[in-house]
Structure 1
Amino acid sequence: MSIINLSAYRFVGLDDLPALRERIRERCETLALKGTILLAPEGINLFLAGPREPVDAFMDWLREDPRFAGLEPKVSVSDAVPFGRLRVRLKKEIITMRMPAIRPEGARAPSVAPRTLHRWLAQGRDDEGREIVLLDTRNDYETDVGRFEHAVDYRLASFTGFPAAIAADCARYEGKTVVSYCTGGIRCEKAALHMQDLGIERVYQLEGGILKYFEDTDGAHWRGECFVFDQRGALDTQLAPAAPLPSGETVR
């Protein structure tokens, strides 16, 4: 039986976190789903796995809450559930940047669709003729597994190091179109907003991140695989497990 793996996030103001955590945990346990769900005042970030029917039932239930009605997950398939248990956790941020002024739940940065980026990269310019700079906002151990060719990689130990790295390198992006990217879209969304605050023009986030790029295109211009935070280890451009972790090994 195929296992459906969901990755999704939404920046939206949440003020009932303890009660919401219990409702979500109860629903997941009833449906026997496994994975990790993070809840914070700024929104939700989830990674869940299970058979198709209970996964769909959970998403239908979650979308009954108007705050999550627009949640659109990235989907991949595996032969087994790549999580050992269910965790529903409360956090200060669903992706830690430690820049309180960045409030993605209030306004999104401009985004570029995967197929549009694919076309830009093939033609070597955006539709207005500007040079494109791809910016990887992930950690170093993720970029070591794979990344877009010629992408800027700051070799971050954690996302909290991004603000200092970009502040020291703003001149690189003058007069160019910048596309920030990450696994599923969450880090590059915060990164793009921060870059706008620094005065960098023409900043986009890759809509849906690398996983959506793999889903919507043939994966051209990508080199290697995409690191994922579960026991699959990494996915190839067909969203198939490329480097499974040994049984029982803990992901970062």
Structure 2
Amino acid sequence: MTATVEQLAPVAELATSSAQNTATWIVAALYQFREVSNPADLRERLLNLVQSINLCGTLIVAVEGINGTVAGDREAIDRIRQFLLNEGFNAMEYKESLSQEKPFRKMKIKLKKEIVTLGVDVKPRDLVGHYLNPQEWNDMISRDDVILIDTRNDYEYQAGTFKGAIDPKTESFREFPEYVKQQLAEHKDKKIAMFCTGGIRCEKSTSLLLQEGFDEVYHLKGGILKYLEEMPAEQSLWQGECFVFDGRTAMTHGLEEGKNEKCHACGWSTTPEERALPSYEHGVSCLHCIDKTTDKQKDGFRMRQSQIVTAKRKRL
């Protein structure tokens, strides 16, 4: 049996300094589809760089490009961005926001087959939908003849979405092609508008639909984060908060940190109202998972939470 890229090159995890010179962490989300002739070599050089700077987060390297979210001080973020620019990633989709606390535990650099896993061969550099800026997006999704689809996972949709968006009820992006086959195949003549957190999943989903023969496919350039950054709240069609895969849990307009918090038992985002329910126990359960774990599992979660609290106290 042939070893996969992941088997040949395990994830590199680097400890990061707990000290931070500034009061906040700069969080940079980035990606670009660009052919990488030697992903393993690029990964090694990235490893050499991040060992010398105060950076945490995850970068994914593949033949098709680079994707990730990293956090650090101004110097670290500028150095990683300049490194990627020097490598030819000069058309990155790139966004910065702030976090008051360290948003990732470690720095990881992964070598994978895809920078976002769809599991279907598509060519987003050659075949992609029509990009829409935030104002164009508002105009498009306000139309009656548009099918609006949230390409993210079910727990992301639950935290917030655009008014009128369809939830494909997927648990991972790998399930999206099956959703297209089962639910969208009869709508190839309709206008389809899709969105995701930062734009990368829509690069592939629009490419997939065009490859499958859909006529008009649109997507939000820069994703929800770009929309929340640029669109005034009073003109916004966004409802709720945007789930993010770091310690902040969710973002709101102006890329401010939201009020939602992640349930560390199941990973779902919880609102302040949901955390006031009897089903919520910090680090142990929420209304989304209280009936899905055993008493033994809950005892294990309580022990883990106790260890986390103890570790935090020792660092103070």
| TM-score normalised to structure 2 length | 0.71
Work out the number of aligned pairs and report it: 243
Show the counterpart of 1:22.
44
Matched, 1:208 2:228: no
8 Å CA contact 1:35, 1:84 repeated in 2? yes
- CA-CA distance at 1:244 after TM superposition: 4.2
Larger Rg: 2
- CA-CA distance at 1:249 after TM superposition: 8.3
- From 108, 113, 123, the counterpart of 2:133: 113
Show the counterpart of 1:60.
82
Matched, 1:198 2:229: no
- CA-CA distance at 1:212 after TM superposition: 0.8
Show the counterpart of 1:75.
96
8 Å CA contact 1:104, 1:193 repeated in 2? yes
- Which amino acid is 1:91 matched to? K
Show the counterpart of 2:301.
none
8 Å CA contact 1:9, 1:43 repeated in 2? yes
Q: Return the alpha-carbon distance in structure 2 between the equivalents of residues 34 and 108 of structure 1.
A: 31
Q: Which secondary structure does the structure 1 equivalent of 2:51 belong to? A: helix
Show the counterpart of 1:98.
119
- From 214, 223, 245, the counterpart of 1:229: 245
- CA-CA distance at 1:56 after TM superposition: 1.6
Alignment of 1:1-252 (within 5 A): 1-66=23-88, 68-100=89-121, 102-121=122-141, 124-125=142-143, 131-170=145-184, 173=187, 175-219=189-233, 220-242=236-258, 243-245=260-262
- CA-CA distance at 1:175 after TM superposition: 4.8
8 Å CA contact 2:230, 2:254 repeated in 1? no
Question: Higher helix share goes to which structure?
Answer: 2
Task: Describe the superposition over 1:198-236 as per-residue Cα deviations: whole angstroms up to 9, x where unpaired.
Answer: 221110121011111111112511111111111111112
Task: Describe the superposition over 1:231-251 as per-residue Cα deviations: whole angstroms up to 9, x where unpaired.
Answer: 1111122312223448x9896
Using CA pairs below 8 Å that are at least 6 residues apart, which structure has the higher relative contact order?
1
Taking a change above 3 Å as real, the CA distance of residues 135 and 15 of structure 1, as seen in their structure-2 partners, is same
Q: Return the alpha-carbon distance in structure 1 between the equivalents of residues 63 and 267 of structure 2.
A: 25
Q: Return the alpha-carbon distance in structure 1 between the equivalents of residues 170 and 106 of structure 2.
A: 29
Root mean square deviation, CA, Å: 2.1
| TM-score normalised to structure 1 length | 0.89
Q: Return the alpha-carbon distance in structure 2 between the equivalents of residues 151 and 195 of structure 1.
A: 17
Q: Which secondary structure does the structure 2 equivalent of 1:80 belong to? A: coil
Q: Return the alpha-carbon distance in structure 1 between the equivalents of residues 240 and 152 of structure 2.
A: 15
Q: Which secondary structure does the structure 1 equivalent of 2:209 belong to? A: helix
Task: Describe the superposition over 1:177-197 as per-residue Cα deviations: whole angstroms up to 9, x where unpaired.
Answer: 221101111111111111112
Q: Which secondary structure does the structure 2 equivalent of 1:46 belong to? A: strand
Task: Describe the superposition over 1:120-145 as per-residue Cα deviations: whole angstroms up to 9, x where unpaired.
Answer: 44xx33xxxx7222211111111111
Q: Which secondary structure does the structure 2 equivalent of 1:63 belong to? A: helix
Q: Return the alpha-carbon distance in structure 2 between the equivalents of residues 71 and 239 of structure 1.
A: 19
8 Å CA contact 1:115, 1:216 repeated in 2? no
Q: Which runs of 5+ in 2 are unaligned?
A: 1-22, 269-316
